[in-house]
Amino acid sequence: MSSTVTHPEVPEIRTVPQDRAILGLVVILGCVVWLFWEFFVQQGRFAINQQADWGHTVVIPFIAGYFVWLNRRAILAEPFRPAWSGLVLLVLGVSWYSFIALGPAAFKHHNLMGFGVALTIFGLALLFCGWRPMRWLWFPLGYLVVFGQTLSDTAVLRFTQFLQDIAAHGSYWGLTLFGFDMAKEGNTLRIHQGGEVIPVNIAEACSGMRMVVAFLALGVAMSYRGLDHWWQRVILVLSAFPTALFVNILRVMTLGILATWDSNLADGDFHSMVGLLWLVPAFFIYLGVMWLLRNIVVGEDEDESDPDGKEADEPLFVRFDGRVRATFVAAVLVLVGGGVSLTFVMQAMNVYLRKAPVELRNSLANLPTSVEGWTMLEDYRIPETGVEELGTDVYLSRTYRADDLPGRPVVHFHLAYYTGTIDMVPHVADRCMVAGGLQKRAGPANRPMSIDREQWGLDPDHVIDGEPFRVQGSRNWLTGEEMLVRMPQGEFELRTTEFHDPKLPSSRIYAGYFFIANGRLTPEAGGVRILAYQPNDRYAYYCKVQFTISGDEDLEEDDFLGISSGFLELMLTDLMRCLPDWAEVQQQD
């Protein structure tokens, strides 16, 4: 039972018993978790699968809760007077989340859904507590929603590339000062020692982005409690950038020096361990910056007493005015109503927020080693740091030589398979080849490929986008088995870019790629999201198909397109035997 206290200005004040307050909080939190379950599951997957980048998001809620605990006496000094304006934010948050969840595939974005969650959290706090406690609650809540969620690859891509350049230049000059014979090609360092060239690739994972985000979160937390003046707090937060970049340069230099002893020390688990070890001095550097800022100005001792003159050991009570029951009922109705409505509409519209992964039918390594005049030369294994940058360990990187074509051109054939990664930005040649030291000469531009589809038949029993699947007969090169293979829907276009090696001015290097996403074709990385993440599809996958051909100044773009098209015609049915059959996947739905 709650006790009632008469007050001349406030009609009724209710002191809520602790057990009842906890029960009410559990009910509200349960409704929030149930409503935003898909968002929290996806955030948890990011934190677990990408611990080096986003593992810190797991502890952010506890830090935010600690900030609330520190200010508990100020927050509870007066009774909570709920603000109905918070109900508006609550409704907006639930509506925004539902709109993103049910809207077109182009709007499916983890951070856009997170914005709806943030509005809901702020709305609940304002609705129950009112405006006065928000003086102390706005910072912990803002800290929670800003640092407690993962930034998608789309959001951080440009900044990551900028940090890669800084790490490459800084480590190049640092190792040069240490007396190493250095060369820099894009974001790849080459150490010349004893007649050998030791490459050190500064991948996206080595850009320092993970350090910047983690130190921003740490700096904001430290400045909130450890510094008194606003300018000190601003300086400490901003110092996260140079601190993280400086330490990251030292880390890359360490990996370069270790690679001169043993190239394996710059890759794999040891590579990650070096990064973790450098976090320790980085943390002490950050503490040193904070110590300097605190000692520049000697502030007056703060009064540690309670704002209302209460003793520190005086018990605290959660008190509301008489509208608390109506507030609780309204919040539960909005959350439950929003969740039930969203679930009902999703079922009626057959919408899936989370896409299930689709396994390959056959390993990409089963692609033939020779096809009608083409012979495999070599299979490449990408280093672990490169695999981390690629974003998948399901790939094929192989070179073939055309024995019957003039000049016997060599094609580097690269495949990368992705599934269940809705926010993953495909790793494309436009970025990685420039990072490897090449210079872009022309493009990228979408060019049509010459693929003969006259021999393809129709499968009237299975349709895609309102049209029958096209099928092609195929014989397995290894077992001799014959079968009909469903081919991808759409036009074959190759997104082509021309590069050249600055050390060889006459060189020409063409790279082109397209994607097969849920049985459809697109040359654009942005088109993958539209094709592979349709709201009504339960499953999602895409495969990048890339060709690279090097030559001299006689190599033209038309030559590249012709060679790539001819090779793809011979390899396409075998490739589609490896990829999921989208008609069969749809039948599983």
SS3 70: helix
Bridge partners of 138, per DSSP, are none
- For residue 7, what pLDDT is reported? 45
Q: Which residue type is seen at 582?
A: W
Average pLDDT of the residues in 173-194: 79
Of all residues in the chain, what percent are helix, strand and coil, respectively (each to 5)? 50, 20, 30
pTM of the shown model: 0.75
Nearest in space to 562 (alpha carbons), one of 429, 407, 428: 407
Mean per-residue pLDDT over the chain, rounded:
82
Per-residue pLDDT reduced to its tens digit, 503-513? 777 888 999 99
Residue 463 CA: distances (Å) to CA of 45, 366, 467, 491: 34, 28, 5, 17
Task: Specify whether the CB–CB gap between 500 and 508 falls below 8 A.
Answer: yes
Q: Could you tell me which residues come within 8 angstroms of residue 130 by beta carbon, excluding any fewer than 6 positions away?
A: 80, 81, 82, 83
Question: What pLDDT is attached to residue 522?
Answer: 93
Q: Which helix (H) or strand (E) holds 169?
A: helix 153-177
User: Could you identify the residue written with the tokens 């699968």?
Assistant: 49
Q: Which residue has the higher pLDDT, 33 or 478?
A: 33
Strands, E assignment, 65-187: 181-185
User: How far apart, in Å, are the Cα atoms of 347 and each of 31, 109, 263, 540, 557?
Assistant: 19, 20, 54, 18, 49
At 85-107, the pLDDT tens digits run 999 999 999 999 999 888 776 67
Range among 45-59, 136-150, 414-428, 437-451 rated most confident = 136-150
DSSP 324: H
Q: Where are the domains of the chain?
A: 3-150+324-349, 154-296, 364-588
Task: Name which of 176-180, 476-480, 545-549 the model is least confident about.
Answer: 476-480
User: How far apart (Å, rounded) are the C-alpha atoms in residues 470 and 486?
Assistant: 6
Residue 3: per-residue pLDDT: 46
Beta bridge mates, 457: 471
